[in-house]
Amino acid sequence: MLDLVCSWLLIAFVSSVAIVTLIFYLVGRRARSARLEGHGGVMLGRGLMESTYLLFRPVEKVLLALRVTPNMITTFSLIPALLSAVALGYGHFGVGAMLATMSAFSDMLDGILARHLKLTSDVGELFDAAADRYVEFFLLAGLVFYFRDTPVMLILILAAIQGSFMVSYATAKAESLGVPPPRGAMRRAERAVYLIHGCAFVPVAGLLWPSVTGTSILHLSREIPIEVAVLVVATVTNVSAVRRFFRIAASLRARAA
């Protein structure tokens, strides 16, 4: 029951974000956040991300009033991420999605606070980047444990982990080589949105189909939303990573010439 309640709450929140985005589009308002520069694309529209930031302005004011620091938020983000892995590992997808959402929003808020308080630093960026990697791994690790008896899903989740790692590595490698990091689909925020939404819809799908695990192929069951989400993430991240490396190579050749 709790899983289903969490799922409906997340679906309601996403619907509110979509409504706000539609209203902004109709009235011609274009909010721009510096933190979102380079984000947004075919897989996740910039407008949806901007609307989410706007909805969290009241939370930002409360945190500022309480003198919460960005590093405190970053540290806190690891706790719900770890708990989400446990929840997902034992099949509580609604609760897991809610906890993963809390972690994702914590990551969003730490950047907002850092910019507002002018506390950005190389050490803070390093800590935030390290925490982001752990947060993403926890979510996928929970799925690995849950689908441990489903070979095809295990392969897809491992492919998603590999693709996620290579997308981030391509950006880091481009920066270390002194060339502009190539843009592409399925950055970390996009991956989180797809995987969390896939988890959130599992309890809803469970109203139609029972849970069937342990098979060697994808199957029509309550797990179909997260199976589709993992398939999309695994495919797009790896394609995006390969394209990024080709673009980096082209930039290096152009610089050498």
Whether the Cβ atoms of residue 91 and residue 121 lie closer than 8 Å to each other? no
Does residue 186 come out as left (phi exceeding 0), alpha (psi in the -120 to 50 range) or beta? Answer: left
Q: In the chain, which ranges are continuous DSSP H helix?
A: 2-27, 46-55, 57-65, 70-89, 93-117, 122-146, 151-177, 188-205, 224-256
**pLDDT recorded at residue 115:** 75
**pLDDT recorded at residue 135:** 92
Below-70 pLDDT ranges, the chain: 21, 24-54, 56, 210-220
Q: List pLDDT tens digits, range 130-147.
A: 888 999 999 999 999 999
Q: Which residues of 150-161 are buried (b: 16+ CB within 10 A; e: fewer)?
A: beebeebbebbb
**pLDDT recorded at residue 216:** 44
**pLDDT recorded at residue 86:** 96
**pLDDT recorded at residue 31:** 53
Which residue from 29, 85, 79 is spatially nearest to 54, judged by alpha carbons?
A: 29
Q: How many independent structural domains does the chain possess? A: 1
**pLDDT recorded at residue 218:** 52
Count CA within 13 A, CB hemisphere, residue 227. 19
Whether the Cβ atoms of residue 124 and residue 71 lie closer than 8 Å to each other? yes
**pLDDT recorded at residue 30:** 56
Domain of 41, in residue numbers: 2-256
**pLDDT recorded at residue 32:** 56
**pLDDT recorded at residue 48:** 63
**pLDDT recorded at residue 71:** 83
Three-class secondary structure of residue 247 per DSSP: helix
**pLDDT recorded at residue 255:** 85
- CATH code, 63: 1.20.120.1760
**pLDDT recorded at residue 121:** 72
Whether the Cβ atoms of residue 31 and residue 24 lie closer than 8 Å to each other? yes
Residues in the chain: 257
